[in-house]
Amino acid sequence: MNLKEAFQAQNKLSELMTHITRYLSAADNVMTVTEKHFRSKALEGQKDESMDVSRKDEEGFDVGRLLVIWEELMEERDRLGAAIGKAKAGMNFNLDAAVDGNKSRRAFLVMLQGLANRKSTHELQKGGGTGYVFNNEGNQTPYRYDIERIMTIDYDRNKVRAMV
């Protein structure tokens, strides 16, 4: 297993552990709710009834088994983490710094692509503005006017494209 596969396996183990934790955190999944309807107390001759009104998830996992599985997943994740640490220590470069630097480069590249594709625009909004004036009678009245919106890029797109 190479480091990439090890990291993917570690992420998958974490996802499974999170799923188990969420499942066990829901009270409906870890408790049985029984309602006892005492009909005979209200009306003689009626039978009392007990009903299970639990609202468990469809999965219906056994809580005890999930606890054991979570512990096993944690142990495996710890072993995998130790193996990853050992492999990273044997490298002639700092993998964490390289990954972090690559992440920054990718984010910058996405931004550069956005800049390279951006274009200057011009739009006219007919009646987009509202102003107010006083008429001859002294009443304030509104009037509408057009708004021209011009957006111009403030950089050399060719230089940006060369960087991409």
Boundaries of every domain in the chain: 1-92, 109-164
In this prediction, residue 130 has a pLDDT band, given cuts at 50, 70 and 90, of: very high
What's the pLDDT at 40? 87
Whether pTM > 0.75 for this model: the answer is no
pLDDT digits (tens, 9 = 90+) for 13-62: 999 999 999 999 988 888 888 889 988 888 888 898 988 888 877 778 88
Give the mean pLDDT of the chain. 91
CA distance 104 to 37: 63
What's the pLDDT at 145? 93
CB 86 within 8 A of CB 95: no
